[in-house]
Structure 1
Amino acid sequence: MVSLLKNRVNIASGTPSRIKKLIDIEALVLSRLAVILLDIHPDVKGYSLFTLPQVRDEFWDLYKNYFHQRLLEGDLRICLYGPLPSGNEFKGKKST
């Protein structure tokens, strides 16, 4: 337990645009980032990270520009928290 506490733990929470700002101002250092936890619970209006267009697009930009390569190299893991979409959420919506 003591050795665990001696290691610095970096935690950032926010929307994709807020996380990007933290990266840009170097308040969140990607080389120390090991896990990304995505809260995919729908809000009271039924929107989630992947169904609200602006937030979804901001997330994919963040993923492509900052996380994808680290994920491929095995330096980053992504964890989804919440119910998995059934696929119905995307019906009638154009994919980009």
Structure 2
Amino acid sequence: MKQVTLSRKDVRKTVDLGGGFERHDFYPTIQGNTYYSFTFNAGNLKPISASFVGSFNGQGFDPYWMMSYPFGLNAWRVVVHNPSNLSIFSGFAGFYFITKT
């Protein structure tokens, strides 16, 4: 399993959701035939949820997430599997983490 650690400096986009909530967007490249463990270290923020989306638009087996869970007080982990021989490049896969101050 490939392990990737992300932090707030890796965020591609942050959206203020109001009330102290924020969404942090990441767009990684995910290699084919690989399990990935993505851990978001949120610093002083508290992660409360996460989601993943990825697609080949019908050109292969779409990747899917296997687990999503809090990983300590200030981190969240998402595990995904890409069963295809194809890699998913930045922009076709996204992780979205919701945090609260």
Note whether the superposition's TM-score is higher than 0.5. Answer: no
Higher strand share: 2
Tell me which of the two structures has the higher relative contact order, counting C-alpha pairs closer than 8 angstroms and 6 or more residues apart.
2
TM-score for both structures, normalised by structure 1: 0.31
Higher helix share: 1
- Highest CA radius of gyration, 1 or 2? 1
